[in-house]
Amino acid sequence: DAGKIRNAILKANCAVKDEPMPKKVLDRLTQEVAGRFAGEKVPTVEQVQDVVEQRLIAADFAKTAKAYILYRAEHAKIRQAEGDLMDIYRQLTFRDAKDVDLKRENANIDADTAMGTMLKYGSEGSKYFVNNYILPKDIAAAHVGGDIHIHDEDFYMLTETCCQIDLLKLFHGGFCTGHGTLREPQDVSSYAALACIAIQANQNEMHGGQSIPNFDYSMAPGVA
């Protein structure tokens, strides 16, 4: 695809401030690369990239060639990561949990069920996005390599993980769930009902475990 070849060369040249490339030179290099494979079977990405590098160096665009090599390496890493993600999806789809550690990662989820598998698709896709587009490269590499561990990485860019709910503070003056405001409860049954609402509402915003460290004290005003 000559358009893709031209765009890749242009991006590499734009990354270099002191080596402008005239449009006619860009067009000529594109034609030379595309013409190199005319009449042959469809070349691989790597074969096309090799020729692009050769043509840039031959045309005395050394800095652009260097930028292109870096661009090439970055996209090779992206393709590799995408391939790794597809391999993970294949394991999730076609193998049983007893044979794949990945499907036994969460003891609360049966990853052999339809919804369990869908949850893992989303989880692994989210981790891929975090590692490749959110985290600094050195941090992502350390996590993937096992030097550090980012707990619940799939929720990294979405919300906080695990919390304790202070019902005494929450009940004082009432609270809002997003669809309405609840006034301060007056009896123990209202306290208990609002505790359930607080947990449910918070679970929509948080990930991981939740606890109420002082549940009995929080209910006490309702029986005083």
Q: Are 9 and 53 in contact (CB under 8 A)?
A: no
User: Cα–Cα distance between 79 and 85 in angstroms, integer?
Assistant: 10
The per-residue pLDDT for 72 is: 84
pLDDT tens, residue by residue, 5-21: 999 899 999 989 889 99
**pLDDT-based confidence at residue 197 (cuts at 50, 70, 90):** confident
The per-residue pLDDT for 181 is: 80
The per-residue pLDDT for 30 is: 93
Which of 174 and 149 is assigned the larger pLDDT?
Answer: 149
Percent of the chain with pLDDT over 70: 100
pLDDT of 135 above 90? yes
pLDDT of 56 above 90? yes
pLDDT of 81 above 80? no
**pLDDT-based confidence at residue 207 (cuts at 50, 70, 90):** confident
**Token code pair at residue 142:** 């350390």
Q: 131: buried, middle or exposed (CB in 10 Å: 19+, 13-18, 0-12)?
A: buried
Percent of the chain with pLDDT over 90: 37
Q: Are 88 and 102 in contact (CB under 8 A)?
A: yes
Closest CA to 49 of 69, 35, 31, 30: 69
Whose tokens are 């765009």? That residue is 7
- What does the pLDDT average to over 60-76? 87
Q: Where are the domains of the chain?
A: 2-74, 95-155, 161-222
Closest CA to 187 of 166, 171, 164, 176: 171
Sign of CA pseudo-dihedral 70, 71, 76, 77: positive
Closest CA to 140 of 29, 20, 157, 132: 132
pLDDT of 127 above 90? yes
pTM over the 0.75 mark: no
**pLDDT-based confidence at residue 209 (cuts at 50, 70, 90):** confident
DSSP string, 17-77: TT----HHHHHHHHHHHHHHTTTSPPPPHHHHHHHHHHHHHHTT-HHHHHHHHHHHHHHHH
pLDDT of 80 above 80? no
pLDDT of 104 above 90? no
Q: What mean pLDDT value characterizes the chain?
A: 88
SS3 112: coil
